[in-house]
Amino acid sequence: MARPVTLFTGQWADLPLEVVAEKAKAFGYDGLELACWGDHFEVDKALEQDGYIQSRWDILNKHGLTCYAISNHLVGQLVCDDPIDERHQAIAPPRVWGDGDREGVRQRAAEEIKNTARAAAQLGVKVVNGFTGSKIWRLLAMFPPTPPEMIEAGYQDFAARWNPILDVFDAVGVRFALEVHPSEIAYDYWTTQRTLEAIGRREAFGINFDPSHLYWQMVDPVEFVHAYGDRIYHVHVKESVRVLNGRNGILGSHLLFGDARRGWDFVSPGRGGVPFERVFRALNAVGYQGPLSVEWEDNGMNREQGAPEALAMVRRLDLTPSDVAFDAAFARS
């Protein structure tokens, strides 16, 4: 049986959940991955207001949709980032930003992620997707010369801040899935390995597999699936394209998304270079049975066109594994 296909609501948070749910059903999706911004899933209300959790399910049920995961990327980014600055103020809930004191922001963000685990448990979902932030992403260029101790300190900082968070995830029976992504503590193959080692590969911490971020870095997402399949707790279907014409570079050149001078960009799923059929076959091979959640991002395409087109691509390429070897019929009985 093909996996359920959901729509991540993060890029639709300008619309009320009721409207997004109606659209998703009309497009043909099976469910929604609820973002913890806009009015889609508000962590504080989930824990404080009687009937709030039921109100989310009422909307989903009304449109014949389900939910397997919620996502709190924006707050998760604040837990480890250094520095904390005006960029973070733009994405932080006011109760998390507070007075803007850097360490205070990190501590309040950590508490909010703990509460996200508690809210997810009340909603009845088992996965929270998100970011971790990183103390050492700013050291990517390794110049001025960066001693190994500075890098190791970044992984230790991550472990010290996230282990207490993961204790809460363990307590409520929910798992955290990091979207491996530039600016996070894990952004490619080798940093993922080091991140898992930093926390002793505890089961509460896994991966929200998003091939788009690997593809533009020239990392094979299929190899990533085979290496980390036991840690893939959720999957994003998101797409990127490389445009390396001799002038454009993969670091993005400090150009905004959608600028033709960028060496890579996000495009609607099915319109870039991610080898989705190979990815889905690899997910079959490692036994992933969870949802495939379309995350639509494309500054050059209307989302009302992109979302149903992406769904059709997933339905076409998400293969049900055969239950018999193709050459079994050749054998003599």
Q: What pLDDT is recorded for position 320?
A: 76
Contact 275, 305 (CB under 8 A): no
CB atoms inside a 10 Å sphere around CB 54: 11
Q: Is the pLDDT of residue 65 over 90?
A: yes
Domain boundaries, the chain: 210-274+292-320
Q: What is the mean pLDDT of residues 17-43?
A: 98
Q: Which of 49, 42, 174 lies closest to 120, judged by CA? A: 174
The Cα–Cα gap between 174 and 168 comes to 9
Q: Compute the distance between CA of residue 36 and CA of residue 74 in angstroms, rounded to an integer.
A: 8
CB under 8 A, 24+ apart: contacts of 282-288:
282/222, 282/225, 282/226, 282/229, 283/225, 283/229, 283/232, 283/235, 284/319, 284/321, 285/225, 285/226, 285/229, 286/225, 286/226, 286/229, 286/230, 286/232, 287/229, 288/3, 288/225, 288/229, 288/232, 288/235
The pLDDT value given to residue 322 = 56
Span 185-244, pLDDT tens digits:
999 999 999 999 999 999 999 999 999 999 999 999 999 999 999 999 999 999 999 999
- Predicted confidence at residue 4, as pLDDT, reads 97
Residue 276 CB burial class (10 angstroms; 0-12, 13-18, ≥19): buried
Tokens, residue 19: 């409207």
**pLDDT tier at 319 (50, 70, 90 boundaries)?**
confident
Instruction: Report the pLDDT value the prediction gives residue 170, as an integer from 0 to 100.
Output: 98
Give the per-residue pLDDT at 72: 98
Among residues of the chain, what percentage have pLDDT more than 90? 95
Q: pTM for the full model?
A: 0.96
Q: What is the mean pLDDT of the chain?
A: 96
More confident call, 167 vs 321: 167
For the segment 316-321, the average pLDDT, to the nearest whole number, is 84
pLDDT value of residue 332: 67
From the list 71, 77, 75, the residue with the least C-alpha distance to 6 is: 71
The span from the CA of 123 to the CA of 153, in Å, is: 36
pLDDT at 277: 97
How far are the Cα atoms of 25, 42, 299, 307 from residue 39, in angstroms, in the given order?
Answer: 18, 6, 23, 20
pLDDT tens-digit readout, 118-174: 999 999 999 999 999 999 999 999 999 999 999 999 999 999 999 999 999 999 999
pLDDT for position 330: 65
Which position has the token pair 């594994």?
A: 321
CB 282 within 8 A of CB 319: no
135 residue type, one letter: K
